[in-house]
Amino acid sequence: MAGETSGGPRTLIVGGGIAGLTAATALHRRGIPVEVAERTPEFGIIGSGITIQANASAVLDALDIPLPAEDVVPIGEFHMLDPKGHSLMSGNAARIMPEPPSFNVHRADLHRLLLAAAEGVPLRPGRAVTAITPGPDGVEVEFDDGERGRWDLVVGADGARSAVRRSLLGEAGAALRYSGQTCWRFAIEAPDLVPTVTLEQWTPGKRAGAVPLARGRIYVYLVESAPEGTPGPGTNHPDIVREKFSGQHPLLDPILERLGPETPIHHGDLCEHAAVHFGAGRVLLIGDAAHAMTPNLGQGAGTAIEDAGALALLMPQHLTDLDGLAPALDARRRKRVETITRLAWRIGRMAHWTNPVAVFLRNALLHRVPDSTTDAQTREMWRPGLELAAELRDAATPAA
């Protein structure tokens, strides 16, 4: 693919996360003069694990962004467990769809791979955007160091608490809605404890997940129903995590015992935007900036990658009609992300039910869902990503 810019619209991507780096790579390779402003000094990412399911891995593949085998663990079997550790539901991602594969990956590894793919894109670390002022034929951008600049197009890929979204839609349009659930997550190196399958256990008001990662690491997420705003100084201490989640599952206890004061544990409330918004005029929103969602389907990054793919597909068609880009992105993506966002929210609530009768009926029902039904639903969830990937490949193939 071309790496030379061709004099298309000067484009600033705000945020060098999953959405921003994927979009930057895709646009740069299509000849768009793009640069990325990232508020962290070194495009560094803390974090734990993430699943990249077939819909997103297909788009990455179509964009020629490789995920080498040594950095990922293919998702095979996964089990949802009840409080006693009995399987409520299970599946096998590799059986549902062997190609393209679904992966677990450490966020730091994914970030490194996305950064490597973005070679040639001007990256501006340590530059936070504070505000934007859209005009009829461009966008003024203000940075935290007092500098200002003007671009033909701005893509807000600056996450759930997007400054670009706030500038465009105001505080109310950028507000997040709390799910009632707070989450601790970490990745730990413990080759002797890595589970052979992906596990998630539901107990009333709580969930715990353990996910195998490459190089002997395990990604653990722990979710609890709680009032809004519990994360604060010291709430990510290993003792607090152990106190809340020990005794949950025999596999989890030895992992929690290994947590030391040096283990980075992230504690944050799970939220979503009240409304999906892909931007207006010369300002686009993608990824969490457009549609922060609860992580219960493991598709926030997946849909962010799809957004970047959709932008790469649509941008070359709108080079002389930049104002048509936001509506085109919206038309292409809204239904897709609204469906996933709503379903993720519902699953999260259902997983934390505490009423014993409701829990009994839910578990009995989940037990009876045939594998073939779960498989078909999962394939259906992945389908739009696979179709997008096929379109990207077609668009990249020169006509005979």
Ligand X SMILES: Cc1cc2nc3c(=O)[nH]c(=O)nc-3n(C[C@H](O)[C@H](O)[C@H](O)COP(=O)(O)OP(=O)(O)OC[C@H]3O[C@@H](n4cnc5c(N)ncnc54)[C@H](O)[C@@H]3O)c2cc1C
**Site for ligand X (CB under 6 A): which residue of 304, 312, 388, 389?**
304
Half-sphere CA count of 50, side-chain side, radius 13 A: 22
Q: Is 14 among the residues that bind ligand X (CB under 6 A)? A: yes
Asked whether the bond before 100 is cis by omega within 30 degrees of 0, the reply is: yes
> How many positions of this chain bind ligand X (CB under 6 A)?
32
Q: Is 288 among the residues that bind ligand X (CB under 6 A)? A: yes
Q: Is 221 among the residues that bind ligand X (CB under 6 A)? A: yes
Q: Is 295 among the residues that bind ligand X (CB under 6 A)? A: yes
Q: Is 108 among the residues that bind ligand X (CB under 6 A)? A: no
Give dist(CA 38, CA 20) in Å, integer: 9
Binding-site string for ligand X from residue 126 to residue 145, where x marks contact by CB under 6 A and - marks none: --xx----------------
**Site for ligand X (CB under 6 A): which residue of 12, 13, 50, 322?**
50
**Cβ atoms 292, 273 nearer than 8 A:** yes
**Site for ligand X (CB under 6 A): which residue of 9, 20, 33, 384?**
20
Give dist(CA 24, CA 65) in Å, integer: 12
Half-sphere CA count of 91, side-chain side, radius 13 A: 22
Give dist(CA 354, CA 149) in Å, integer: 52
Q: Is 208 among the residues that bind ligand X (CB under 6 A)? A: no
Among 210, 261, 221, CA closest to 244: 221
Q: Is 301 among the residues that bind ligand X (CB under 6 A)? A: yes
Q: Classify residue 232 by burial, with Cβ atoms within 10 Å: 0-12, 13-18, 19+.
A: exposed
**Site for ligand X (CB under 6 A): which residue of 159, 281, 309, 384?**
159
Looking only at the bridges linking them, the beta strands covering 138-143 and 206-213 are: unpaired
Binding-site string for ligand X from residue 167 to residue 206, where x marks contact by CB under 6 A and - marks none: ----------------x-x---------------------
Among 193, 198, 218, 213, CA closest to 94: 198
User: From the CB of 339, what's the least distance to ligand X, in Å?
Assistant: 15
Pick the piece of the chain touching ligand X (CB under 6 A) from 16-24, 253-261, 310-318, 378-386: 16-24
For ligand X, the closer of residues 53 and 363 by Cβ is: 53
Q: Is 9 among the residues that bind ligand X (CB under 6 A)? A: no
3-class secondary structure, 179: strand
Binding site for ligand X (CB under 6 A): 14-20, 37-40, 50-51, 128-129, 157-159, 163, 183, 185, 221, 287-289, 295, 298-302, 304
